[in-house]
């Protein structure tokens, strides 16, 4: 599985045709498998937003089509301070996988006889967003932040297009891999202050055992939402990465990113609801 690496657009490639994700944004509502949860304390009970509820909010922003430059997106309520909890089925890894940035995964290591489930974050750069949306993300308040977004996706719509050939300024020809994805995610600025925490689980298993268990494995991520700017908790836009000679990948991502920080990772057996593994994130 290829790791995401920040890539700069090559000026010689700027003339390449890129597929817009606007049709995907309008025709595919992001969905998530989640259950409503209530967090109760001795003094109060707080409703937790599910992945489905967050997807519905994101879709209202995503489907907005301005009539002209004076139209503004619909006002969304601030979600700062609210809890979220989404439950998703991890995606299978492999040579022909269709995994979005930050999507949870499951892998069976046949040579080692173990099943591994992980929620690894992906990275996105605000500078990759096209148009005004690249300016919608504020400057990181933390001076130790690196200007990259650390995202955990809970919806993923992935399309792999036919490869195409392109030439650079010197006439060299390259085979370009083209993909379009549509995601809804929880994200924050990546910072050196962020302490590592365990978001993976593994279990020794035979092939038959892993096959049966992996069908019922779910990952639940919970945390707290914030605002990117006062009153604005989600930003939607299109991120584009053009291919270069060293990185021949043409990637277009339609993303809605909620500002938030996961603080609880759980692996669940959907057959019984049993929590097989749990890991809490320590404050920075």
Q: What is the mean pLDDT of each run of 10 residues along the chain (284 residues)?
A: 42 38 40 35 62 94 85 82 97 87 95 95 87 78 75 95 89 91 94 82 95 96 95 90 90 94 97 96 84
Residues whose CB falls within 8 Å of the CB of residue 165, separated by 6 or more in sequence, listed in order: 173, 174, 175, 176
pLDDT of 11 reads 38
**What is the per-residue pLDDT for 3?**
42
Q: What sign has the CA pseudo-torsion 272, 274, 277, 283?
A: positive
Q: Alpha-carbon distance 167 to 252, whole Å? A: 20
Does residue 270 contact residue 219 with C-beta atoms inside 8 Å? no
* Alpha-carbon span 255 to 280, nearest angstrom: 27
Q: Which stretches does DSSP call E strand in the chain? A: 37-40, 45-50, 83-88, 91-92, 105-109, 114-118, 122-124, 145-167, 173-191, 200-204, 217-225, 234-241, 249-269, 274-280
What pTM value is reported for the model?
0.78
Structural contact between residues 122 and 2, judged by C-beta atoms closer than 8 angstroms: no
- How many Cβ atoms sit within 10 Å of the Cβ of residue 121? 20
pLDDT value at residue 136: 83
pLDDT of residue 265: 97
CA–CA separation, 90 vs 113, rounded Å? 19
Spatial distance between the Cα atoms of 103 and 199, rounded to a whole number of angstroms: 12
Q: What is the largest CA-CA distance in the chain?
A: 70
Dihedral pair phi/psi, residue 26, rounded to 5°: -85, -30
pLDDT digits (tens, 9 = 90+) for 92-104: 997 778 899 999 9
Encode 242-277: b = buried (16+ Cβ within 10 Å), e = exposed.
Answer: bbbeebbbbbbbbbbbbbbbbbbbbbbeeeeeeeeb
Residues 151, 101: contact at Cβ < 8 Å?
A: yes
């Amino acid at each position: 599985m290829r790791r995401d690496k920040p890539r700069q657009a090559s000026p010689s490639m700027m003339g390449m045709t890129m597929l817009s994700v606007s049709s995907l944004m309008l025709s595919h509502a992001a969905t998530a498998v989640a259950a409503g949860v209530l967090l109760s304390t001795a003094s109060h009970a707080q409703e937790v937003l599910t992945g489905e509820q967050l997807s519905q909010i994101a879709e209202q922003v995503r489907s907005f089509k301005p009539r002209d430059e004076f139209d503004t997106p619909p006002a969304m309520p601030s979600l700062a301070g609210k809890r979220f909890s989404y439950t998703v089925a991890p995606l299978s890894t492999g040579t022909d996988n269709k995994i979005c940035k930050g999507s949870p995964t499951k892998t069976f290591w046949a040579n080692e006889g173990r099943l591994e489930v992980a929620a690894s974050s992906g990275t996105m750069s605000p500078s990759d967003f096209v148009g005004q949306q690249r300016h919608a993300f504020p400057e990181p308040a933390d001076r130790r932040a690196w200007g990259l977004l650390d995202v955990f996706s809970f919806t993923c719509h992935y399309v792999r297009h036919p490869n195409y050939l392109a030439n650079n300024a010197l006439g060299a020809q390259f085979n370009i891999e083209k993909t379009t994805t549509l995601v809804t995610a929880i994200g924050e600025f990546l910072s050196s202050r962020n302490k590592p925490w365990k978001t993976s689980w593994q279990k020794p298993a035979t092939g038959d055992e892993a096959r049966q268990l992996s069908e019922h494995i779910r990952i639940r991520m919970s945390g707290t939402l914030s605002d990117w700017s006062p009153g604005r908790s989600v930003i939607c836009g299109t991120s584009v990465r053009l291919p270069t000679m060293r990185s021949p990948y043409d990637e277009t991502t339609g993303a809605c990113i909620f500002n938030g920080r996961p603080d609880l990772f759980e692996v669940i057996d959907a057959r019984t609801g049993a929590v097989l593994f749990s890991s809490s994130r320590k404050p920075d």
